Structure 1
Amino acid sequence: MKNLAIALVDRPGTLAEMTDALDRAGVRIEGGGVFVVDGCGVGHFLVKDVSSARRALLAANIQVLSERDVVIPRLNQSVGGQFSHFMRRMADAGINIEVLYTDRHSQVVIVVDDIEASLAVNRAWDIEQDMLWSLFNDGLH
């Protein structure tokens, strides 16, 4: 999956036009958000079929600003502080968070300035979480 940054005119109906174009092309929006700053709208949307999304948006005269890989950390929502701990790890690795939103499964989706470093942080996080989960399960037996 990738994040598409999309230029959106700040007027009623722009988002409907964009989602209609993607819907007609059979592209499902997996997550995202829209932000308007000083009259300029930018949407960030998570999609699986990037090629179809690009074609549909271009056909609808909607500008795709960028296509970026994302990091989707596995956070245990029932454990307090997980988001904070993961953000600290990203900061300690010198990774700048450029965009953050949630997907349709309530997972955090992150666009960063250094995808390779962030994927390394995410892999280490996953390994640690698996070890903690294993220790927790072993303690129950």
Structure 2
Amino acid sequence: MAKMAEQLKIQVADKVGKLAEITDALKKAGVNIIAANAWVQEGQGFMYLVADDADKAAKALDPVTDRVDCAGQAVCVNIPNTAGALNEIAAKLAGAGIAVKLCYATTAGGEAMIILDTSDNTKAADLI
């Protein structure tokens, strides 16, 4: 079953230790990371983050980042960690005319958690 979660978009300088700073700030604030996706582009570090408390996370990250924005609601869904599981979701969304704008995932054991930002997150969550 899919659920909605607040997603944060974080921007930082591309410097050694920034991930450690970010995770330390979250740890000190008692915020648990549910999922994260980070990359560097043109000298800037970016991260999409889903946490157990988005407001608390944003406040904790403000002093250690260049920018923290609410990126809106994302669809979170746990699926079996098996070949073709993501394809089933992607095909359902495509069949309903829903575009996937962002997707990242994490796996543990027999399950995978997929984070999706789509052209219609409410419809996507209901569909999957």
Task: Tell me by how many angstroms 1:22 deviates.
Answer: 0.9
The 3-state SS of whatever aligns with 2:93 is: helix
The AA in structure 2 aligned to 1:53 is: A
The AA in structure 1 aligned to 2:23 is: T
1:120 aligned residue: 126
Matched, 1:93 2:96: yes
In structure 1, the gaps of 5 or more residues are: 123-141
Larger helix proportion, structure 1 or 2? 1
Structure 1 stretches of 4+ with a deviation exceeding 4 A read none
Query: Is contact 2:81-2:107 (8 Å) kept?
Result: no
In structure 2, the gaps of 5 or more residues are: none
Matched, 1:18 2:42: no
CA distance in 1, matches of 2:13, 2:99: 27
Percentage identity across paired residues of the two chains: 26
CA deviations 1:60-119 (Å, max 9, x no partner) are: 3441132322212342224x3221121111122222222222246531111223212212
2:84 aligned residue: 81
The equivalent position to 2:13 in structure 1, one of 9, 16, 40, is: 9
TM-score normalised according to structure 2 size: 0.80
Q: Which has the higher contact order (CA 8 A, sep 6+)?
A: 2
CA deviations 1:112-138 (Å, max 9, x no partner) are: 23212212222xxxxxxxxxxxxxxxx
Please report the RMSD computed on the Cα atoms of aligned residues, expressed in angstroms.
2.0
CA distance in 1, matches of 2:85, 2:107: 19
Q: Which protein has the larger Cα radius of gyration, Structure 1 or Structure 2?
A: 1
TM-score normalised according to structure 1 size: 0.74
1:66 aligned residue: 70
Paired positions, count? 121
The 3-state SS of whatever aligns with 2:76 is: coil
The change in CA–CA distance for 1:22 and 1:33 in structure 2 (over 3 A counts) is same
